[in-house]
Amino acid sequence: MIDFRYHLVSLISVFLALAVGIILGAGPLQGTLGDQLTEQVDTLRTERNTLREELGDAQATAQDQRRFIDSAGDQLVAGSLAGKNVAVIEVDEVSDASRQAVLDQLEAADATVVAQERLTASWTSADELTMRETVADGLREKLPAGAVDGVIDDESGPAQLLAASLTVALTDGAPAQSGAFSEEALQQQHLLEQVGLVEQVAEPSAPADAILLLSGGGTATEEDAETQDADPEQTGMAALAALAGTSAEIANSSVVAGPTTQDGDLVSTIRGEENLAELVSTVSGVEQTTGQIVVPLAVAAQEAGTVDQYGFEEGASVLPPVVEQGETQGNG
């Protein structure tokens, strides 16, 4: 049996420890702890005020830089595409704000946007591959030889054939009539619309000198990867990359523009393939004013024979070379 004295000693120990703690807390330790807490609060308050001031300065600087970019951008792009016809193709879902901002910069560069078209999901869907193969087979003999020689051959797949068809539809002019489409171009345009591969946003009005592929930054999904196992070059992102490469070979001027890159999007896909990166200029960051300004400059540079990748990512160039009026080499 436990002796009562054991309990008594335990209780005395507890109360003794409590008493010592109270005495120390109310005595010699009270001032030290209070001073330390007060000092820490003062330090945190000072840091908060400093950070608030730095944030305010940074926001003011960023606002000044945006105003500078907006002002300088007009001077940079003005006249860079004077007399040039540009066709804009939306390859996936593009925000209204980005689309309009890019169109505004093309206008500021004195370019004429002669066509606005949008690819439908059928252009890349694995479920529609059989349809695209059928359409492409019918197109093979109808493409004008002079426009596609050296680009399309017997080994070309549906992605390349459809890309050639759309490029011809937007760029091939009538030999004897300036500013008019060739009969082949009109046929290609009609067929692509009829089978539901493209939609017109603004009806083509004249052959284009350059093609701008505008992306909203869509990426390849796991489902795309699974369905592309049988023929990875003809569906999904590969079909869009084929459009970029084929249009560059036929039109001699094809630029792809999209938002800041992420893995699997069209811009990063082109930059990741050496043969495409040598043919097609890309512009990233079009959700920002800087990227929007670069778009017409990149088109003008490619028209003058300079292909590069523009953006703030590692390995990309920040700004295209300035092209003087008269340097660009039209194709139409």
The pTM assigned to this predicted structure is 0.78
Per-residue pLDDT tens over the stretch 24-65: 555 555 556 667 777 787 788 888 888 887 777 666 655 545
Sequence spans of domains, the chain: 1-77, 82-310
Per-residue pLDDT tens over the stretch 183-209: 999 999 999 999 999 999 999 999 999
Please answer whether residues 172 and 184 qualify as being in contact, where contact means their C-beta atoms are separated by less than 8 angstroms.
yes
User: Is residue 227 packed enough to be buried (19+ CB in 10 Å), middle (13-18) or exposed (0-12)?
Assistant: middle
Examine the pLDDT at 106 and tell me if it is beyond 60.
Answer: yes
> Confidence band (pLDDT; 50, 70, 90) for 22?
low
Domain 82-310 class in CATH: alpha beta
Three-class HEC string of 17-85: HHHHHHHHHHCHHHHHHHHHHHHHHHHHHHHHHHHHHHHHHHHHHHHHHHHHHHHHHHHHHCCCCCCCE
- Got the DSSP string for 290-316? HHHHHHHHHHHHHHTT---EESSSTT-
What is residue 70's predicted lDDT score, i.e. its pLDDT?
Answer: 57
